[in-house]
Structure 1
Amino acid sequence: MPYATAHDGVKLYYEETGAGAPVIFVHEFAGDLRSWEAQLRHFGQRYHAIAYNARGYPPSDAPEEVGKYSQDRAADDIAAVLDHLQLSRAHIVGLSMGGFATLHFGFRHAPRARSLTVAGCGYGANPAKREDFRAEVAASAALLLEQGTEKFAERYAYGPTRVQLENKSPRAFADFKRQLAEHSDIGSANTLLGVLRERPSLYDLKDQMKALNVPTLILAGDEDWPCLLPGILMKEIIPSAALAVMPNCGHAINIEDPDAFNRIVGNFLSYVDSGRWPMRDPRAMSASFTGMR
């Protein structure tokens, strides 16, 4: 089995296919590298497509100490995969937890990012609901450790931004729920406590966003309510960002509508690779409605 070694010694299992410019896919909390299968097949036809399991997701290591899990470590683990594969730069595509890791990779390792696709990113960002989010994450971790991942998956899979997948594709939903139920109890709980609960609100990261010049695509489903306003925030603040919203979609957009996801991301990567991705014209940020004042 191929493994990259993180800077603190944690081993990260990865898979790769294809040749060309490298694209690294970073999975969400409820997924793993298997949830990128449609993307590996599609992008592997013209790119060097890579997906890996985050720490806590076997066959990657699942450390028992919650201190081994954090937002910074999640971002640095992307760099560790690049280092192992001897890649100086790559396109980074992340969903949800992986979207946060992708954004923070841009903050911490901008020269190594050909582009950033930040999809389904925003849970816990609302400052008014910050403590509610942290409490719910802690309660979820406790429930997971008490009842096990299999029972946890039976509840988590039916969240308000997950039912869209079940309605569209019962087969894809069944695969998603089965794979979630196979995750590590301690790895998932520590990920909840160390990464999701402790990561900073996007609203506290405006200075870092303003300084981010890497070509960036913000992507969300229009029924992924916790991500819509944060998506607009990132579009407004990041000077190199574009925003795309997928209609009638919830959270797991890469498996809910893989054709649309692949098309949007593929077009973005093509613009970046051709050197045609723009920075925002400062005139577009005028306070005037018409430009007449």
Structure 2
Amino acid sequence: MPFIDSKGVKLFYEETGSGNAIIWIHEFAADHRTWEMQVRRFSRDYRCVTYNARGYPPSDVPEGGDAYTYERQRDDILHIMDALGIERAHLVGLSMGAYAGMQFAMTYPDRTLSLVFSSGGSGAPKGDREQFKRDTYEGADRMIKEGMVTGSQGLAYGATRIQLLNKDPRGWEDFRKFLSEHSALGSALTLKNYQALRPSLYDYEDQLKQLDVPVLLAVGDEDDPVVDVNIFLKRTLPRAGLWIHPKTGHGMNLEEPDEYNRRISDFLCAVERGTWRRRDGRTEPGQSVFMGDRPKERK
């Protein structure tokens, strides 16, 4: 098995294809295997790198909570790129992985070709923060007490996972099975130290306004916890486009793989052609519907 050392933590990874690199960053309830339908498509044209986050075997499962902060998860992407000799990469993250990708883009914009921010933003609204933290800690404690087989049942039947069950029962069963094989300790420490303690995206508004990285925001319209924050990000990020897929929950890459792959392919092509531009200032909120003088286009 191939591993990369991230300051003493071994991370399992797989690499397929050649060309510009795409780093695929999985969500909390997933691992590198859930990107299979994307790797099969994009490895024809790109160098695809998937990996298991720290706490997800066969990657190491550190026993200290301070090993699971969002900064460490962010920098794991950097260490993977450095170890593989990747100077710049497209990042595709889902949920927890989307947050890590956004943090990476803000911290290392010169290493980021683009970012696909999928199903990201759980727990971001300030009014929801304390309840989100309580729910997260409760879920972590249940995983330690009851184990991942029981924990996987609860997560797989969550309000934003039923959509996958209804559309693709076999795919949902694979998702639940993979989840049941995760480390209870690694998952619980990830919940308590990454998910619960990461800052809200709303806290980064000023920094996000200056982020000159192409971003595709991708969200399902039935993924209620993250719809509003993605609208905020669309209005804040200067080079963001927002795609909302109907009748879709959290794991949109599993629910709608064909459309997900097509949207990402179109996005990457636009980025590489140089046509994924900054938002024209004439279209921003606050502009009058009936403009007097002809406004100047913002480059």
TM over 0.5: yes
**What are the equivalent positions in structure 2 for 1:41-190 lying under 5 Å apart?**
41-190=40-189
- Displacement of 1:291: 3.6
- Give the aligned partner of residue 2 of structure 1: 2
- Give the aligned partner of residue 289 of structure 2: 290
Q: Deviations over 1:226-282 (max 9, x none)?
A: 111100111100101111011111000001110010000110000011121101112
- Give the aligned partner of residue 38 of structure 2: 39
Q: How high is the sequence identity, in percent, across the aligned residues?
A: 44
Bigger mean CA offset, 190-199 vs 281-290: 281-290
- Give the aligned partner of residue 295 of structure 2: none
- Structure 2 residue matching 1:87: 3-state secondary structure: coil
- Give the aligned partner of residue 228 of structure 1: 227
- Displacement of 1:288: 3.3
Distance 2:137 2:87 in 1: 37
Distance 1:279 1:9 in 2: 39
- Give the aligned partner of residue 195 of structure 1: 194
CA RMSD of aligned residues (A): 0.9
- Displacement of 1:225: 0.6
2:26 is aligned with 1:21: no
- Displacement of 1:286: 4.6
Distance 1:4 1:92 in 2: 18
Q: In the comparison of the two structures, how many residue pairs are matched?
A: 292
Distance 2:120 2:268 in 1: 19
Distance 2:248 2:275 in 1: 29
- Displacement of 1:136: 0.3
One-letter amino acid of the counterpart of residue 248, structure 2: C
Distance 1:221 1:251 in 2: 6
Distance 1:135 1:289 in 2: 43
Distance 2:179 2:285 in 1: 46
- Structure 2 residue matching 1:144: 3-state secondary structure: helix
Q: Deviations over 1:114-136 (max 9, x none)?
A: 00111001100111111000000
Distance 1:243 1:132 in 2: 27
Q: Deviations over 1:55-103 (max 9, x none)?
A: 0001111101011011111111111110110010000000000000010
- Give the aligned partner of residue 250 of structure 2: 251
Distance 1:204 1:66 in 2: 23
- Displacement of 1:292: 2.7
Distance 2:288 2:37 in 1: 42
- Give the aligned partner of residue 276 of structure 2: 277
- Structure 2 residue matching 1:205: 3-state secondary structure: helix
- Structure 1 residue matching 2:108: 3-state secondary structure: helix
One-letter amino acid of the counterpart of residue 284, structure 1: T
One-letter amino acid of the counterpart of residue 191, structure 1: T
Q: Deviations over 1:13-42 (max 9, x none)?
A: 000111111001000000000000000100
One-letter amino acid of the counterpart of residue 167, structure 1: N
- TM superposition score normalised by structure 1: 0.98
- Structure 1 residue matching 2:124: 3-state secondary structure: coil
Distance 1:289 1:32 in 2: 47
Distance 2:206 2:157 in 1: 36
Bigger mean CA offset, 162-171 vs 239-248: 239-248
- Give the aligned partner of residue 30 of structure 1: 29
- Displacement of 1:4: 1.3
Distance 2:65 2:73 in 1: 13
Distance 1:224 1:65 in 2: 32
Which stretches of structure 1, 4 residues or longer, exceed 2 Å deviation after superposition? none
